Amino acid sequence: ITEAGPSVPDPAVEPSADRPHHCLECGKTFRLISSLKKHIQFLASPKTFFSRVCFLSCLSSDYI
């Protein structure tokens, strides 16, 4: 799990004053640190279902 919080600006991600927190794993940006922490927990959680059509991994087969 990566550290949550403001980080060094990535040249591939435009810095934004209204979305200062970004995921070091995927680059997605967040306005609130709590949203980033939830996102990081989601990325770290085990995904038990996998779609061979769209390559989506998720916790429930409802989303596949």
Q: Give me the pLDDT at residue 13, please.
A: 56
pLDDT at position 36 is 94
Domain boundaries, the chain: 1-64
**Predicted local confidence at residue 43, as pLDDT:** 86
Q: Which of 28, 39, 48, 64 is nearest to 56 (CA)?
A: 64
Confidence category of residue 63, pLDDT binned at 50, 70, 90 = low
Architecture of domain 1-64: 2-Layer Sandwich (3.30)
pLDDT in tens, 6-19: 545 454 556 578 99
